[in-house]
């Protein structure tokens, strides 16, 4: 229980920010330069509520004396904690206080951290006792250190109310000594009485009940029945005749639920597991390797084990005969904790039936035994499927190839899945294997312009067939942009959206071979089905929570290791759903997992799975050591090279390209929604259902009622909720600006209304300090009013790749006149300004923001506007204008010039 503490001030009260830039109040003192310091900070009178030992947790920062210029002589790196016990609220002289301890820091902070106004927090816990008065004061004494005290938490421990062995034990406060056990005599519950002696338990200093002695039993004519079916808190005694009538002659949980004697008293009633899933066998001559997945339902217990029953199928339908003792099971036949077993020394050319059973501690009590096993029929030396004969190439991108193939001619059984093995040609020392249940798949994460070798094989319960012959396919070259997917998605839109308000894009009701598309979880009648379709259920016992790393909309975000059986331990982030949620909140929380689980890309946060079978409900994702990008950039202001920053932007663009290819519109792309790992890899995150509507602190209500993060959102999305990949591109431009200005707030402190107005009047953010011109041009392109003129993510990735490969292109920085802080710059629109002055090719290109092509035009022989008006799209490509949006913009302007010439027959004015 936490006691209330108020600090009253002898030190200075200061507003600060913590490591996450959240505002906090601290009490500080820093008189390191002056001699003879003796500064006290007192708390209010804290009531003990009867506790004899209390714990004090301090959070504070201490400045490293070595980091202080010349102050080392008198500077201290510790402070003292005191207490004073009293029965009434009466402040006392400091000399009456008793010292608890001298407190030192584990981490001190340096000048640099101070400059950043970011503090490193130390946490120290001390205990006080035995206490005998009603209350006490705490005090902190500074003798010349530089300290900021951030929090003081005072608490004590209790053994909670407990019902055990038909006796009730009251809520009990432990004794004052660490080794002391407080003996508590329990009261037998109604209709029960002590057996031999009254039951006793012992309350430890840590608030745990230990050493039970004695018990109560039901009085004559009464029998025990569990009191609670879901979380068993105890038992009650009811008359035996009543118990018989209800069928509960002994302690019985609700139908199908059970408990065993060794279960802890407050453990839930549990039930047997469901059957093992996905069981397959792999025959190798006279051995069979059986493999399966853990049951869907573990019954609320962690002690799930597997037993194998092996039977030989007798010829001519004469039934089954149990396998003899000569058959070997590795590691053993019963009580397997792993989900596989090798059965060796079977007879050849013989049919076997394996019964694979999942059991747990309460299985023996189950009435419906058939629910818990599956059978597998296996013939030793059985033929595996024949090889897949043809593999075809489908949609091909720069980093992906769609593949499809036909079932093998002779499957020899039901095909459970296919394995696709691939590697880059002439690099066959390492290869990748992926699996598919369908006869098609998109292989992603490939290199552009590279030849890959693919082979496919099928698997049945008899094992794998041979691999197909090798098929060679090549990925598309860099920067060859085909709008296929975009237009495919666009063509599909508009007829399968169930609830347009939430629809990011239409569902994949229509299937396009070789192109994976995002499926709106709303297309599932039961949202739980969507979750389990796209997210793996993880048993909570594989997860350890180590610390809290953030606060999400639905509860805390923690991190810790995930140890999946047979897999390497990895660090994961764990989003929890706080207790007391409604069914709707649970659905909304899990919505994010249904979306995230559909993505598989190095720049999209990876979903490891969900925990829905136990509480709290959790979403498990990969852990990103450096947290969200905006905070990370602010913390590391000016610390990265331009190439590093462009690398981060490239990653984000690549993730967004993948999302737009999948037909998913993010709607809240912003640096705060990008996570960064220890290798500076940026990943797009935040796919929550309500994020734009509720969660994002940046979101504001628009006149049309929706909640939108104004500063990041394209004008058409603000005005009439036209959210598309093109509006995501606008937001991407803002993210570029955030990155290049190390986390500066877009449009600074301007109000949302002013931002909308300025953007409407064609003003745009100026180039950040030291920003390469090429990047600023790209940002400006992302902020084209006409959304079709904005580059596609595909083109953005290409352009950034080009810049990375040619770093000298990043040397030219934004002209300082473009970056007058706090002033927005006017965006030259494609329409241009129509001043009546004849311009050069360079000026014309500048006026439509295409100045970067001036050199290419001149080199290509187009040195006058007259010549330019003769140009075709083909000519444009030839001089080197490759981006579709730019071609369109230049051609539009050329057409305008032609119209003008025909109308006026005068020199070209633009
Ligand atoms: P969210 O609810 O997704 O906005 O998460 C809240 C905060 O938790 C974020 O701002 C991050 O600081 C942190 N967080 C969320 N997911 C992760 C992760 N995968 N790795 C590291 N930190 C995370």
Are 88 and 133 in contact, with CB atoms under 8 Å apart? no
Beta strands 192-203 and 222-226 are unpaired
For residue 493, what pLDDT is reported?
A: 26
Distance of CA 237 to the CA centre of its chain: 48
Q: Distance (Å, rounded) from C-alpha 486 to C-alpha 790?
A: 14
Stretch 509-536: mean pLDDT: 70
555 is in an annotated binding site: yes
Q: Is the pLDDT of residue 649 over 90?
A: yes
pLDDT confidence tier of residue 112, bands split at 50, 70 and 90: very low
For residue 310, what pLDDT is reported?
A: 94
Structure-token pair, residue 854 = 């001036």
766: Cβ contacts below 8 Å, ≥ 6 apart? 814, 818, 819, 820, 821, 823, 824, 825
Stretch 475-486: mean pLDDT: 45
pLDDT tens string 131-185? 999 999 999 999 888 888 888 889 999 898 887 878 888 989 998 887 888 999 9
> Can you say whether the dihedral through the CA atoms of 686, 689, 691, 692 is positive or negative?
positive
- Could you tell which of 547, 552, 631 is best to mutate to test the pocket of ligand 1, judged by most ligand atoms within 8 Å of the CB? 552
Q: Following DSSP, what letter does each residue of 443-486 receive, concatenated?
A: E-SPPTT-EEEEEEEEEETTEE-PPPPPEEEEPPPTT----HHH
For residue 557, the CA-to-ligand 1 centroid distance in Å is: 6
Q: Is the pLDDT of residue 735 over 90?
A: yes
For residue 555, the CA-to-ligand 1 centroid distance in Å is: 11
For residue 675, the CA-to-ligand 1 centroid distance in Å is: 7
Mean pLDDT, the chain, integer: 80
Which residues are registered as beta bridge partners of 194?
216
- Among candidates 660, 677, 803, which has minimal Cα distance to 732? 660
- Among candidates 762, 728, 734, which has minimal Cα distance to 831? 762
Considering the candidates 668, 686, 794, 801, report the single residue annotated as catalytic.
668
- Could you tell which of 19, 548, 549 is best to mutate to test the pocket of ligand 1, judged by most ligand atoms within 8 Å of the CB? 549
Structure-token pair, residue 736 = 């570029």
pLDDT tens string 36-67? 888 888 888 899 988 999 999 998 888 888 77
Most confident of 425-429, 577-581, 709-713: 709-713
623 Cα nearest atom in ligand 1 = 20
**What percentage of the chain has pLDDT greater than the value 90?**
32
Stretch 541-564: mean pLDDT: 90
For residue 190, the CA-to-ligand 1 centroid distance in Å is: 50
- Among candidates 256, 250, 246, which has minimal Cα distance to 237? 250
Stretch 581-610: mean pLDDT: 91
572 Cα nearest atom in ligand 1 = 19
For residue 558, the CA-to-ligand 1 centroid distance in Å is: 9
pLDDT confidence tier of residue 14, bands split at 50, 70 and 90: low
For residue 250, what pLDDT is reported?
A: 45
For residue 171, the CA-to-ligand 1 centroid distance in Å is: 38
Three-state SS at 610: strand
186 is in an annotated binding site: no
Structure-token pair, residue 94 = 């400091």
For residue 105, what pLDDT is reported?
A: 81
Q: Distance (Å, rounded) from C-alpha 179 to C-alpha 489?
A: 69
557 is in an annotated binding site: yes
**Integer angstrom CA distances of residue 62 from 30, 68, 585, 852:** 10, 12, 42, 53
647 is in an annotated binding site: no
pLDDT tens string 233-288? 456 676 666 555 554 444 456 667 777 777 766 566 778 888 998 888 888 777 88
Q: Is the pLDDT of residue 33 over 80?
A: no
For residue 533, the CA-to-ligand 1 centroid distance in Å is: 24
- Which residue, by CA, sits nearest to atom 21 of ligand 1? 624
Are 332 and 234 in contact, with CB atoms under 8 Å apart? no
Are 396 and 299 in contact, with CB atoms under 8 Å apart? no
Question: Can you give the C-alpha Rg of the chain in angstroms?
Answer: 35
- Least confident interval from 3-7, 236-240, 384-388: 3-7
- Could you tell which of 552, 557, 605, 689 is best to mutate to test the pocket of ligand 1, judged by most ligand atoms within 8 Å of the CB? 557
CB atoms within 10 A of CB 322: 10
862: Cβ contacts below 8 Å, ≥ 6 apart? 841, 868, 871, 875, 879
> Can you say whether the dihedral through the CA atoms of 295, 301, 305, 308 is positive or negative?
negative
20 Cα nearest atom in ligand 1 = 12
Are 24 and 60 in contact, with CB atoms under 8 Å apart? no
- Among candidates 197, 209, 174, which has minimal Cα distance to 54? 174
Stretch 200-212: mean pLDDT: 89
Q: Is the pLDDT of residue 322 over 80?
A: yes
**Integer angstrom CA distances of residue 281 from 154, 319, 882:** 59, 21, 54
For residue 659, what pLDDT is reported?
A: 93
For residue 234, what pLDDT is reported?
A: 53
Ligand 1 pocket residues where CB is under 6 Å: 549-550, 552-553, 557, 573, 605, 621-624, 627-628, 675, 685-686
Q: 776-788 as b/e, with b when 16 or more CB fall inside 10 Å?
A: bbbbbbbbbbebe
- Which residue, by CA, sits nearest to atom 22 of ligand 1? 627
Q: Is the pLDDT of residue 471 over 50?
A: yes
- Could you tell which of 668, 673, 675 is best to mutate to test the pocket of ligand 1, judged by most ligand atoms within 8 Å of the CB? 675
Owner of token pair 């967004």: 656
SS (H, E, C) 256-316: CCECCCCCCCCCCCECCCCCCEEEEEEEECCEEEEEEECCCCCCCCCCCEEEEEEEEECHH
549 is in an annotated binding site: yes
- Least confident interval from 437-446, 522-531, 591-600: 522-531
Q: Following DSSP, what letter does each residue of 490-501 receive, concatenated?
A: HHHTTSS-SSTT
557 Cα nearest atom in ligand 1 = 8
Q: Is the pLDDT of residue 225 over 80?
A: no
- Which residue, by CA, sits nearest to atom 10 of ligand 1? 628
Owner of token pair 């975000």: 557
Q: Could you confirm whether 770 is annotated as catalytic?
A: no
> Can you say whether the dihedral through the CA atoms of 146, 151, 156, 157 is positive or negative?
negative
552 Cα nearest atom in ligand 1 = 2
Stretch 583-607: mean pLDDT: 91
The 8-class DSSP code of residue 542 comes to: G
575 is in an annotated binding site: yes
- Which residue, by CA, sits nearest to atom 4 of ligand 1? 552
Q: Is the pLDDT of residue 28 over 70?
A: yes
For residue 624, the CA-to-ligand 1 centroid distance in Å is: 8
Structure-token pair, residue 590 = 């899990």
Are 887 and 895 in contact, with CB atoms under 8 Å apart? no
For residue 487, what pLDDT is reported?
A: 28
**What percentage of the chain has pLDDT greater than the value 70?**
79
- Among candidates 490, 496, 488, 504, which has minimal Cα distance to 395? 488
pLDDT confidence tier of residue 660, bands split at 50, 70 and 90: very high
Structure-token pair, residue 473 = 């396919």
Which residues are registered as beta bridge partners of 607?
621
Most confident of 638-642, 699-703, 869-873: 638-642
For residue 662, what pLDDT is reported?
A: 87
- Which residue, by CA, sits nearest to atom 23 of ligand 1? 627
Task: State which H helix or E strand residue 236 sits in.
Answer: strand 235-239
* Choice between 782 and 331, residue whose per-residue pLDDT is larger: 782
């Amino acid at each position: 229980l936490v006691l209330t503490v108020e600090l009253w001030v002898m030190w200075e009260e200061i507003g600060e920010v913590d490591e996450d830039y959240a505002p906090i109040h601290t009490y500080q003192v820093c008189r390191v330069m002056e001699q003879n310091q003796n500064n006290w900070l007192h708390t209010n009178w804290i009531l003990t509520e009867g506790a004899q030992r209390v714990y004090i947790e301090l959070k504070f920062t201490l400045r490293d004396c070595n980091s202080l210029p010349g102050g080392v002589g008198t500077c201290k790196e510790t402070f003292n904690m005191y207490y004073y016990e009293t029965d009434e609220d009466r402040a006392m002289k400091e000399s009456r206080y008793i010292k608890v301890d001298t407190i030192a820091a584990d981490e001190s902070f340096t000048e640099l951290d101070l400059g950043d106004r970011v503090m490193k927090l130390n946490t120290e816990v001390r205990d006080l006792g035995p206490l005998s008065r009603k209350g006490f004061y705490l005090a902190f004494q500074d003798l010349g250190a530089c300290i900021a005290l951030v929090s003081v938490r005072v608490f004590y421990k209790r053994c909670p109310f407990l019902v055990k062995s038909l006796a009730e034990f009251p809520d009990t406060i432990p004794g004052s000594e660490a080794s002391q056990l407080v003996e508590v005599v329990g009261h037998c519950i109604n209709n029960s009485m002590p057996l031999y002696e009254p039951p006793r338990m012992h309350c430890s200093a840590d608030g745990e009940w230990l050493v039970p002695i004695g018990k109560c039993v039901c009085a004559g004519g009464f029998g025990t029945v569990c009191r609670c079916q879901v979380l068993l808190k105890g038992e009650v005694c009811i008359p035996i005749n009543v118990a018989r009538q209800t069928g509960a002659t002994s302690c019985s949980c609700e139908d199908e639920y059970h408990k065993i004697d060794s279960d802890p008293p407050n453990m839930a009633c549990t039930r047997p597991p469901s059957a093992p899933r996905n069981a397959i066998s792999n025959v190798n001559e006279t051995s069979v390797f059986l493999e399966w997945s853990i049951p869907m339902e573990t019954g609320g217990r962690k002690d799930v084990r597997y037993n194998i029953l092996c039977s030989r199928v007798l010829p001519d339908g004469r039934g089954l005969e149990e396998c003899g003792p000569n058959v070997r099971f590795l590691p053993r036949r019963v009580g397997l904790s792993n989900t596989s077993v090798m059965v060796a020394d079977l007879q050849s050319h013989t049919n076997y039936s394996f019964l694979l059973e999942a059991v747990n501690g309460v299985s023996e009590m189950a009435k419906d035994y058939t629910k818990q096993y599956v059978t597998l029929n296996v013939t030793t030396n059985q033929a595996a499927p024949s090889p897949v004969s043809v593999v075809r190439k489908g949609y091909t991108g720069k980093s992906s190839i769609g593949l499809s193939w036909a079932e093998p001619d002779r499957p020899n059984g039901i095909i459970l899945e296919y394995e696709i093995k691939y590697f880059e040609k002439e690099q066959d020392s390492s290869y990748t294997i992926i699996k598919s249940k369908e006869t098609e798949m998109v292989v992603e994460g490939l290199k552009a312009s590279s030849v890959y070798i693919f082979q496919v094989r099928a698997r049945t319960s008899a094992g794998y067939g041979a691999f197909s012959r090798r098929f060679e396919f090549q990925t598309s070259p860099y920067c060859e942009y085909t709008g296929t997917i975009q237009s495919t998605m666009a063509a599909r839109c508009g007829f399968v959206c169930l609830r347009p308000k939430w629809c990011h894009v239409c569902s994949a009701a229509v299937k396009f071979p070789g192109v994976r598309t995002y499926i709106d979880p709303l297309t599932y009648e039961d949202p739980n089905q969507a979750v389990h379709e796209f997210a793996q259920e993880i048993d909570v016992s594989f997860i350890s929570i180590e610390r809290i790393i953030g606060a999400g909309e639905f509860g805390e975000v923690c991190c810790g290791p995930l140890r999946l059986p047979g897999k390497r331990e990895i660090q994961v982030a764990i989003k929890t759903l706080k207790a007391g949620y409604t069914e709707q909140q649970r659905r909304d929380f899990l919505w994010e997992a249904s979306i995230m689980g559909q993505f598989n890309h190095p720049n999209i946060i990876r979903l490891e799975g969900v925990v829905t079978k136990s509480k709290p409900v959790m979403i498990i994702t990969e852990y990103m050591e450096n947290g969200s990008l905006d905070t990370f950039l602010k913390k590391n202001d000016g610390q990265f090279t331009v190439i590093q920053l462009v690398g981060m932007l490239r990653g984000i663009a690549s993730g967004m390209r993948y999302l737009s290819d999948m037909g998913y519109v993010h709607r809240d792309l912003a640096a705060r929604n990008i996570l960064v790992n220890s290798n500076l890899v940026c990943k797009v995150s935040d796919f929550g259902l309500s994020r734009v509507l509720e969660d994002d602190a940046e979101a504001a209500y628009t006149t049309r009622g929706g909640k939108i993060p104004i500063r990041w959102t394209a004008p058409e999305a603000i005005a009439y909720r036209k959210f598309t990949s093109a509006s995501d591109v606008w937001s991407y431009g803002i993210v570029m600006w955030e990155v290049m200005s190390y986390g500066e707030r877009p449009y600074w402190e301007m109000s949302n209304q002013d931002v909308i107005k300025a953007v409407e009047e064609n003003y745009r953010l100026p180039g950040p300090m030291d920003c390469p011109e090429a990047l600023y041009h790209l940002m400006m392109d992302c902020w084209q009013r006409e959304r079709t003129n904005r580059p596609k993510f595909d083109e953005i990735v290409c352009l950034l790749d080009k810049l990375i490969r040619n770093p000298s292109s990043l040397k030219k920085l934004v002209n300082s006149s473009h970056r007058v802080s706090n002033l927005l710059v006017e965006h030259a629109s494609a329409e241009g300004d129509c001043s009546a002055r004849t311009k050069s090719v360079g000026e014309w290109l500048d006026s439509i923001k295409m100045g970067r092509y001036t050199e290419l035009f001149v080199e290509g022989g187009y040195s006058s506007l007259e010549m330019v008006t003769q140009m075709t799209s083909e000519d444009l490509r030839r001089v080197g204008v490759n981006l579709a949006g730019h071609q369109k913009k230049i051609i539009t302007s050329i057409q305008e010039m032609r119209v003008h010439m025909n109308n006026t027959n005068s020199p070209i004015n633009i």
